[in-house]
Chains A and B, each alone.
Chain A
């Protein structure tokens, strides 16, 4: 006996198997990101007054990424619609766009991560803090493009300090107590930022690989079983839209609040 309802809909539920499967999987993904978002809420609500960062992320990059993903969600839907009308050429075009947009998203994200990676907070022996992007370093000194603050709290709310003067600072190594970059270990905001966006980026990568496979080697199935292939495009499209949905919440939560 063959497994039924892999392509045709089951009459009483009105759905084919893979669609049930992907929605169930997406439900579990909602709970996964929900766990991380609830961690965000707890950490932020529990943080002492004035010690939760604002404006550490560049809204311009985030906006561009939002538009890229929104566009890719649309090209994904159109790729599926093209399959439904059996227009293979258009399908190829639309999903090629999806893949390019996804790679652009990942590229921008990598740049943002790099930006944090070279951003250092340097505690100096005289009690002040030098904060900025690393330009060069050697045995004797560290050169950053940033500023010096006396109160650590000034580093947190960048929204309230829109006109920051950043200069090139040469810092002697002998004056440094501790030097740490803005990686996940820096504070709980960077921790949850990297974890949330990192897991999201992994999902983008996974989705891109699946869509690329279906666009490339997997599209052989178009010749033998176009209906089943269309279902695969639909199911992978649903996953992609979910990843876009997560970003719809990530962007405002991390960049705008």
Chain B
């Protein structure tokens, strides 16, 4: 955005950054707490889900505000949405391929 729509005010940016930083501190603490918590079920599955969920929130903050993705142009969104789709495909299909195999024919 080399020609901004509105003039940049340094103070408002500092305020925004302070808020984002504080929220990041909170989310990080929440992740650590979740990781060491004994209340999130046995095993790691539930913990992983909660922790990754918080990480996604964290990522959203950094991407949205610090990379000003929330005020970015449609073109960037289009590129990124394709990326996200293929990213999910890579993960999802690979893990599915691992889990789906003929049963009873091979020892696992």
Cβ-neighbour of A66 out of B17, B28, B63, B82 (below 8 A): B28
**Which residues of B are found within 8 Å of A35, using beta-carbon distances?**
90
Closest residue of A by beta carbon distance from B65: A77
Interface hit among A6-14, A165-173, A179-187, A199-207: A6-14
A54 neighbours in B (Cβ, 8 Å): 44
Closest CB of chain B to A201's CB: distance in Å? 19
Q: Given A67-B28, A74-B21, A248-B62, are A38 and B94 neighbors across the interface (CB < 8 Å)?
A: yes
How distant is the Cα of A231 from the Cα of B51 in the complex, in angstroms? 35
B-side contacts of A158, CB under 8 Å: none
Question: Nearest-CB distance from B18 to chain A (Å)?
Answer: 8
> Cβ of B51 and Cβ of A257 under 8 Å apart?
yes
B67, A241: Cβ atoms under 8 Å?
A: yes
Residues from 79 to 107 in B contacting A, C-beta threshold 8 Å:
79-80, 82-84, 86-87, 90-91, 94-95, 98
Chain A residues positioned under 8 Å from B52 (CB to CB): 249, 252-253
A15-B76, A245-B62, A248-B62 in contact; A31/B87 too (CB < 8 A)? yes
In angstroms, Cα B98 to Cα A167, docked, is: 42
Residues of A contacting B17 with CB < 8 Å?
74, 77-78
- The yes or no answer to A177 lying at the interface (CB within 8 A) is no
Shortest Cβ distance from A105 into chain B, in angstroms? Answer: 15
Task: Tell me whether chain A's interface is mostly helix, strand or loop, or mixed.
Answer: helix
Complex CA distance for A18 and B51, rounded to whole angstroms: 35
Contact B47 A257 (CB under 8 A): yes
Min CB distance, A157 to chain B, in Å?
10
Closest residue on chain B to residue A54 by CB atoms? B44
Q: With A and B bound together, what is the CA distance between A249 and B58 in angstroms? A: 9
Choose among A9, A81, A256 the residue that contacts B8 (Cβ–Cβ < 8 A): A81
Residues 7-47 of A, flagged 1 when their CB comes within 8 A of B and 0 if not, give 11100011110011001100100110011011001100110
User: Does A96 sit within 8 A of B, measured CB to CB?
Assistant: no
Q: Contact at B95–A241, with CB atoms within 8 Å? A: no
Q: A8-B2, A74-B21 are in contact. Are A31 and B95 (CB under 8 A)?
A: no
Across the interface, name the chain B residue whose C-beta is closest to A15: B73
Size of B's binding interface in residues, CB under 8 A = 47
A164 within 8 A of B: no
Known: A45-B95, A77-B17, A85-B10. A30 touches B83 (CB 8 A): yes
- Most chain B Cβ neighbours within 10 Å, of A15, A46, A230: A15
B66 within 8 A of A: yes
Q: Are A256 and B32 in contact (CB under 8 A)?
A: yes
**A31 with B83: in contact, given A42-B95, A249-B59 (CB under 8 Å)?**
yes
Q: Which residues of A does B touch, CB under 8 Å?
A: 7-9, 13-16, 19-20, 23-24, 27, 30-31, 34-35, 37-38, 41-42, 45-46, 54, 59, 63, 66-67, 70-71, 73-74, 76-78, 81-82, 84-85, 87, 90, 227, 230-231, 234, 238, 241-242, 244-245, 248-249, 251-253, 255-257
- Can you list the 8 inter-chain pairs with the closest CB atoms, starting with the nearest? A256-B35, A84-B8, A81-B13, A27-B83, A74-B17, A14-B73, A241-B67, A252-B51
Knowing that A84-B8, A251-B31 touch, tell me 10 more A-B residue pairs with CB under 8 angstroms.
A31-B83, A59-B35, A70-B28, A74-B21, A81-B13, A85-B10, A227-B2, A245-B63, A257-B35, A257-B51
Offer 20 A-B interface pairs, CB within 8 angstroms, sorted by A: A8-B2, A14-B75, A15-B1, A27-B83, A31-B87, A38-B91, A67-B28, A70-B24, A70-B62, A74-B17, A74-B66, A84-B4, A85-B8, A230-B2, A238-B67, A241-B62, A245-B63, A248-B59, A249-B55, A251-B28
